[in-house]
Amino acid sequence: METKHYQALPLFRFFLFLLILVLQLSSFPAKAADPPGSLSGKITDKTDGEAIIGASAMLENTTLGSASDIEGNYAIQGIPAGTYKLKVNAIGYTPFSQTVTIAPGQATTLDPQLGQTTVMASEIVVGAALYEQDRLEVPVTVSVVTDAKIKEEPNPSLDQVIEDVPGVNINRSAGYSTSTVQIRGSNTFQGGAIGTRVQGLYDGFPINTPTTGEVVWTNVNMNAADKVEVMKGAAATLYGSGAMGGVVNVFGSLPDKFEVKAGASGGFYDGTPDSDKSEYRKDFTPWLWSSYVGIGNKTDKLNYSLLYSHGEDDGYRENTWSSLDDVKLKARYDINSKQYLQLSSFYNETRGGYASTWPYTADIDFMFLQPVIEIPDPPFLIPMGGAEVGVNFNPLTQFAYDAVDSVYADDTIKRKNALIGLNYVNLLSDDLSLDARLYYTHNKTRIDYNPTSLTQIYGFDYMVYMENPNPLGDPIPLFPAFLKIYDRDPGEFNETKSNRYGAGIKLDWRASDKHRLLFGMDGNIVDVQSTQYIADLPVPGQLGEIQEKNIAFFLQDEFKMTDRLTALLSVRYDWSKIDADKVTFLDYESVLEDPDYPDNAPDTTLSIANPSVDAISPRIALNYKATDDMSFRASWGKSFRAPTLAERFVRDAGLFLGIPNPEIDKETMTAYEIGMFKQFSDKVSFDIAAYINDYDNLIESRNLNPQYWPILFRYENVAKARIWGIETSLNVRPTPDWNLNFAYAYMNAKDKTGEDSSLSGELNPDPDWLAYRPEHTASISALWKATKRLSLNTTGRYVSEYKAVSSYPNPEGENYPGGFIVFNAGAKFQATDNLSVSFLCKNITNEQYEEAEWFRAPGRSFIFGFDFVY
């Protein structure tokens, strides 16, 4: 079947026509008759006069700006004559602003002096309102990970950068397999990160996989990142369905002058404890290394950065090896002082072993559905359909670094991800600006299960017993047997690829001193080819097709009610539709009692009840700046999330069997939040937030065969849930050389339906607790500039033991993830002005822990690196 790319054209053409029309109507300003002027100077610390490196100097309501170099100097060229406000921001300093007049053809000098403050108090954020706001004026909770924090670790990935943010919890299996990011308990841990409720963005463009909602956080390389913003709570008003739980936005960096940079890091995983008996780690040391090289420049008109990164990892567990190739290109062309074009793009390929759980044995209980007339000679093969099978799994934690079975040792996963995003920004006047964008994303995931020429069979060896006539006697063994779970044919694979075509437009209008209005619309079309996420019955080895369309409109008003009280009022309308009205699937549920289950499951075709869903998402957010150093915030909002294609049509989940759900509908959430930010001095700042998130029709996977094997599941709107919690963050800067941060988050995540909402939930210690949501998390970090060239840092992270899981629950909560404290320590030495060297020890105490169920996390590792910039 040919791919229906033509179906993407009508809506795409509409947005392209709209963009061209706006460009034509937005007449370029005529070239000024007077020659332009310039502004330059030196940005220094008010306390000691030392130069401040990397400070941002921008002329308000223009595209003109610069950053200070290693001596604190900045220079802004090509400024049309007039009066401007210069705004200077730097991490750890109070923002500076001053009016300056530029004369025609003249060079003007201004030397800003900045006062020190805490890192938190100096933050400038974008995500809360889609334009820059000072930390004290933000009406919702936003955390910022700065460039300095990102660079503490050699060659970091996105999950590593945000794992210490309060309210954020990471679930990683291993390598480039499943990884999920929760914000305030927004989503559970499920294969392929199906139905994640966190929107991932790169320079404002979506990077979630359209079919599942997944972001493979472990392969978002951060070498080219300037900062990361994490917005918590109901963000769907501005960012759409995928942002029900929050937003993680990565901002790519651009240089301020010509530069060539390169770096490399390498290290190894330390040995396991004596108690570990894994064969994989026997007399074997896995190594990991990475490297990058890049070039960038800034001229009067063009600013660009091109970076290539490569990484290799032997894998700390069996079949967790990985390889990454990543190219990022960001460029900005200033048409004039009022308008520019910006390109944000990347392409990466990742390859690795498809991780499996640790080994286990199984106790198998049979209830035969028909008499056993004849017992052949052993070994005896009993198909699953011959009996109802109860299975108790017994993990072999002493072999935690081995794969569960040799069948999994050759499984591989390959991913390709690409983004091309183009922004056109026009400052039409001092009060009105236009931001139009076009983007294309490509996501491809392929899992190869069996590269051999023979069929691979996975199952369990066990013994069949007969009841002893003597009530006091033990059961009598009859014969050994084998329970086949499934087989993989030679060359068997699962593959999904999607192409997303999107466009959007946004108008930012300062209507008056009291009102700043934001108007916008977004739309995209997604073409999907998949072996399972389709409405038709899949044909093994062939890709079926389906398409999804999305469109949205939003309006926001920043209302200055008084000098100190600001309201952010916003509303968004979303519509989402798939091009299918029926689904065909194997109805395993209808033959649960049949002796030949599941091999004789019939084809069933049902009408899809909700091929399209829509919703209106309002939000009210307030910020009251009680004093110059303290603000209070409160918000209320509604969010919705459309079911993903994976939730609608999932069929294959390894050990488990999935049934598509033609009745699935959207889920909704109502969010409440109050918070306070207080800067006690230029050395201490504190943030606290309390929230309640009420979910309705929460989409979770439901186990349809909880007492017997195999697990049969379907995604349903099964739950009403309430998640509430408190988050705190304390930043202390006792001296200019020290920076300390402490964070703690408490979360209460309960199912309010009165019935279980996850797989085998009734077997958990707390059956009402939502699976994979930790009650307590905490982090600590310290940075000490021991000398002008040497800095030392340490971080610690605590996650409490989970109260509920879905795959392997037990009333005692044994072998549940969480319940760990992990410390890292690092050092960076600036050997010369161009060369720095670094060292990092991760998991100093070699803690043996899990973030995901039955997937051992990495133990201690050592990494050495260097970075060169010319």
398 phi and psi angles, rounded to 5 deg:
-70, -10
pLDDT for res 8: 45
Q: Indicate if the pLDDT at residue 2 is higher than 70.
A: no
Q: Indicate if the pLDDT at residue 552 is higher than 90.
A: yes
pLDDT for res 80: 86
**pTM greater than the 0.85 cutoff:** yes
Closest to 147 in 3D by CA, of 85, 90, 211: 90
Sorting pLDDT into bands at 50, 70 and 90, what band is 814?
A: very high
Tell me how far the alpha carbon of residue 149 is from its chain's centroid: 18
Least confident of 34-48, 58-72, 359-373, 475-489: 359-373
- Residue 4 CA to residue 385 CA, distance in Å, equals 40
E-only strand ranges, 27-174: 37-42, 44-45, 56-59, 65-67, 73-79, 82-89, 96-102, 107-109, 113-114, 124-125, 133-134, 142-145, 168-172
Least confident of 90-94, 377-381, 449-453: 377-381
Q: Select the more confidently predicted residue: 120 or 791.
A: 791
Q: Select the more confidently predicted residue: 643 or 709.
A: 643
Mean pLDDT over residues 801-820, rounded? 90
Exposed, middle or buried by CB within 10 Å (0-12, 13-18, 19+), for 555? middle
pLDDT, tens digit, 9 for 90 and up, residues 646-661: 999 988 776 678 899 9
Please tell me whether residue 24 adopts helix, strand or coil conformation: helix
- Residue 671 CA to residue 448 CA, distance in Å, equals 41
pLDDT for res 290: 93
3-state DSSP of 178-214: CEEEEECCCCCCCHHHCCCCEEEEECCEECCCCCCCC
Cβ pair 572, 238 in contact under 8 A: yes
pLDDT for res 406: 85
pLDDT for res 380: 42
Cβ pair 426, 334 in contact under 8 A: no
Query: Encoding tokens for residue 687?
Result: 């943030």
Q: Select the more confidently predicted residue: 154 or 561.
A: 561
Bridge partners of 329, per DSSP, are 306, 345
Q: Select the more confidently predicted residue: 718 or 814.
A: 814
Q: Indicate if the pLDDT at residue 5 is higher than 70.
A: no
Mean pLDDT over residues 95-124, rounded? 81
Sorting pLDDT into bands at 50, 70 and 90, what band is 135?
A: confident
- Residue 772 CA to residue 793 CA, distance in Å, equals 30
Tell me how far the alpha carbon of residue 27 is from its chain's centroid: 39
Q: Quote the radius of gyration of the chain (alpha carbons, Å).
A: 29
CA torsion, ordered 849, 851, 853, 857, to nearest 10 deg:
-50
Mean pLDDT over residues 527-547, rounded? 93
Q: Indicate if the pLDDT at residue 362 is higher than 90.
A: no
pLDDT for res 636: 94
Mean pLDDT over residues 424-449, rounded? 93
pLDDT, tens digit, 9 for 90 and up, residues 172-230: 887 777 778 889 988 877 665 677 888 999 999 999 999 988 887 877 888 888 889 89
pLDDT for res 88: 86
Contacts of 531 (CB under 8 A, 6+ apart): 493, 494, 495, 496, 538, 540, 541, 542, 543, 544
Least confident of 128-132, 343-347, 521-525, 624-628: 128-132
- Residue 654 CA to residue 336 CA, distance in Å, equals 56
pLDDT for res 270: 96
pLDDT, tens digit, 9 for 90 and up, residues 298-341: 988 899 999 999 999 999 999 999 999 999 999 999 998 889 99
Q: Select the more confidently predicted residue: 640 or 389.
A: 640
- Residue 379: asked if its preceding bond is cis (omega within 30°), the reply is yes
476 phi and psi angles, rounded to 5 deg:
-95, 120
b or e along 69-92 (b: 16 or more beta carbons within 10 Å of the residue's beta carbon)?
A: beebebebeebbbbebebbbbbbb
Sorting pLDDT into bands at 50, 70 and 90, what band is 440?
A: very high
Beta pairing, strands 456-466 & 476-488 = antiparallel
Contacts of 96 (CB under 8 A, 6+ apart): 86, 87, 88, 89, 112, 113, 114
pLDDT for res 76: 87
